[in-house]
Amino acid sequence: MEKIQVICNPNAGRQIVQKNIPKLVEVLNEDANREVDIYYTSKKFDARNKAEKSCYNQYDLIITIGGDGTVNEVINGMMQSDKKPKLAIYPAGTVNDFGTYLKIPRNIEEFGKMLIRNNSTKVDVGVSGDRYFLNVAAAGLLPEVAHKVSSEAKTVLGKFAYYIEGIKEFSKQLFKPMRVKLYINGKEEEKEILFFILANSPSVGGFSYLVPEARIDDGYLDLLMVEYSQLKDVAGMFIKALTGNHANHPALKYLQVQEISILTDNRIDLDLDGELGGSLPASFKVEKQALEIIIP
């Protein structure tokens, strides 16, 4: 018997795809040897707690239905257990970076078929303190933009809310550098930056190619950093970022790391997979191929 736990955030995204759950269960139940349990979250940490319990209760597969925030909670729950089921991500949020990168089908029948085919790949998981992230850790301009967009605005306007708010915030943020001390491979470097992104996949914040060289299974996190001194070029860089043609831009520092510490004098909010998660100063590392994800 294959035991499957669905963990769904009923309020994620535009709340449309969640209506497809009965159809998904129907597809999966065509094989009498499968047992599907469905759990709806009602508040923060529900998904995390349920995922952790599902590991101990020996489920074979966890399916997340929600946005990147739900995926982040689920992987945080799973990383607490030595025995981990496989993970499948059904993108149902406003921004679904990891699902987009993996080209997970949005059509529910196609998604069900993908589960039945059961192809999988191992993926790296980032960690900072006791918090894990599957796609990205970031601080500075971009995360502040994301968190200023209320979740109601995200539901109604979807991705556009990010960009509209982004344009409004941009001018204010330009004058607020972050002074950081970086420790990479035993070397110390001091910088004034606008923001940094530490990414597992190339797709971050709805930009499909923001971190073009990032690979989800290489045991590295890709650090992308914009220096404050390069301020005047930043707008042009963002335009290039839409098509992934920004990596060689002089305003950027781009580097692959296994471990990094980022120290700041002040406490600065940290974004993990699009949700507020702790703060700088912080250290980061990667657990190579720690989770197994179902892919098309």
Ligand X SMILES: Nc1ncnc2c1ncn2[C@@H]1O[C@H](COP(=O)(O)OP(=O)(O)OP(=O)(O)O)[C@@H](O)[C@H]1O
- Which one of 4, 6, 7, 9 is in contact with ligand X (CB under 6 A)? 9
CB 90 within 8 A of CB 104: yes
Q: Which stretch binds ligand X (CB under 6 A): 24-32, 61-69, 120-128, 250-258?
A: 61-69
Q: Under the phi-then-psi rule, with left for phi > 0, alpha for psi from -120 to 50, and beta for the rest, what region is 226?
A: beta
Mark 235-274 with x for binding to ligand X (rule: CB under 6 A) and - for no binding. Answer: ---------------------------------------x
CB 287 within 8 A of CB 128: no
Please report how close the Cβ of residue 209 comes to ligand X at its closest, in angstroms.
18
CB 278 within 8 A of CB 133: no
Please report how close the Cβ of residue 137 comes to ligand X at its closest, in angstroms.
15
Q: Catalytic residue at 165? A: no
Answer yes or no whether residue 43 interacts with ligand X by CB under 6 A: yes
- Which one of 12, 211, 224, 286 is in contact with ligand X (CB under 6 A)? 12
d(CA 92, CA 134): 16
Answer yes or no whether residue 10 interacts with ligand X by CB under 6 A: yes
- Which one of 118, 119, 150, 151 is in contact with ligand X (CB under 6 A)? 151
Q: Which stretch binds ligand X (CB under 6 A): 5-13, 173-181, 197-205, 232-240?
A: 5-13
Write the burial class of residue 208 (CB in 10 Å: 0-12 exposed, 13-18 middle, 19+ buried): middle
Positions 79 through 98 that interact with ligand X (CB under 6 A)? 93-96
Please report how close the Cβ of residue 62 comes to ligand X at its closest, in angstroms.
14
Which residue's Cβ lies closest to ligand X?
A: 67
Which residues, 6 or more positions from 270, have their beta carbon under 8 angstroms from its beta carbon? 128, 137, 138, 139, 143, 276, 277, 278, 279, 280, 282
Buried b (16+ CB within 10 A) or exposed e, 233-257: bbeebbebbeeeebbebebbbbbeb
In this structure, the number of other CB atoms found within 10 A of the CB of residue 263 comes to: 15
Please report how close the Cβ of residue 166 comes to ligand X at its closest, in angstroms.
14
Whose Cβ is closer to ligand X: residue 44's or residue 117's? 44
In this structure, the number of other CB atoms found within 10 A of the CB of residue 4 comes to: 23
Answer yes or no whether residue 126 interacts with ligand X by CB under 6 A: no
Binding site for ligand X (CB under 6 A): 9-13, 41-44, 46, 66-70, 73, 93-96, 151, 154, 274-275
Give the active site residues.
Answer: 275
